[in-house]
């Protein structure tokens, strides 16, 4: 899912691979005793976002007859990479400090990464994830409002997988219309907060930066209004007290914000075609 935000590394290679695999299944499932007219695509978490993305691609029309999204959706803020060029250069800088200046072209970045041994790329990728995401989930969720390595909205081309925003596509019914099963569990984000000390630290960060609680799609830019809205959101989960004193409320907020809320919106849009 590396992307430079241009045609050099357009991005979405993972989704393009999935689309190719789906086509292969459609063309060959008969050889394994399957029925190409009864294929259901099913994913969990990021996999749920992946199958939802497949539903947005018109090339997949006829290749599946149902979709199951468990604990995930492409409408979640985490399911889209919003600053791909910045991310690509930040990643490359872990391997070569000269990329920190961003004076290189995207062509030079691609040429360099192709010269790096795969095992070095893998180590850098893991370091990038843990340094920039896992160790500071609260700040990451606010500042990036999306994945570091995830789907992107590409420039238009014949090879592009996605060139329009997911929300608008689903809202305007521009997707493959098949039956959808979608659902989530209680406390979806609990796996990220198995460490109580880190959970408390993240909740203290939220208390100190209430503006981080406001979803980016609310399009509030005024700092005072952001803080005011963030306080209103927190108070819904804590009865007006800090998250650091109500870790369970913070967990429910994270679950609602990252998964439950976008999944309910996804279901709402699809319900227009339910029978």
Dist CA 270 CA 262 (whole Å): 12
Angle at 170 between CA 166 and CA 251, to 5 degrees: 70
| H helix runs in the chain, sequence order | 13-28, 46-56, 84-95, 106-115, 118-132, 137-143, 166-171, 196-208, 223-238, 247-255, 261-270
**What separation, in Å, do the N-terminal and C-terminal C-alpha atoms of the chain show?**
36
Cα 254 from Cα 235, distance rounded (Å):
14
Return the closest-CA partner of residue 53 out of 70, 69, 65. Answer: 69
For this structure, is 173 an active site residue?
Answer: no
Can you tell me the distance from the alpha carbon of 45 to that of 72, in angstroms, rounded to the nearest whole number? 4
Q: From the candidates 3, 18, 45, 147, which is the catalytic residue?
A: 45
Residues serving a catalytic function are 45
């Amino acid at each position: 899912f590396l992307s430079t935000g241009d045609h050099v590394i357009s991005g979405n290679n993972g989704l393009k691979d999935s689309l190719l695999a789906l086509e292969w299944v459609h063309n060959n499932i008969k050889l394994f005793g399957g029925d190409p007219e009864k294929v259901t695509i099913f994913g969990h978490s990021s996999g749920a976002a992946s199958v939802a993305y497949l539903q947005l691609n018109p090339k997949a029309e006829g290749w599946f007859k149902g979709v199951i999204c468990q604990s995930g959706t492409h409408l979640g803020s985490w399911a889209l990479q919003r600053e791909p060029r910045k991310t690509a250069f930040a990643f490359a800088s872990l391997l070569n400090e000269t990329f920190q200046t961003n004076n290189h072209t995207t062509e030079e970045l691609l040429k360099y990464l192709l010269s790096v041994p795969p095992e070095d790329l893998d180590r850098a990728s893991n370091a990038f994830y843990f340094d920039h995401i896992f160790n500071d989930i609260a700040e990451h969720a606010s500042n990036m409002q999306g994945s570091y390595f995830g789907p992107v909205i590409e420039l238009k081309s014949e090879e592009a997988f996605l060139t329009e925003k997911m929300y608008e596509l689903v809202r305007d019914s521009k997707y493959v219309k098949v039956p959808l099963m979608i659902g989530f569990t209680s406390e979806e984000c609990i796996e990220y907060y198995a460490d109580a000390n880190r959970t408390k630290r993240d909740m203290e960060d939220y208390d100190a930066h209430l503006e981080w609680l406001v979803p980016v799609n609310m399009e509030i830019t005024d700092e005072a209004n952001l803080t005011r809205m963030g306080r209103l959101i927190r108070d819904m989960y804590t009865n007006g007290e800090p998250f650091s004193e109500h870790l369970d409320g913070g967990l429910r907020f994270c679950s609602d914000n990252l998964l439950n809320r976008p999944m309910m919106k996804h279901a709402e849009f699809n319900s227009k075609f339910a029978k």
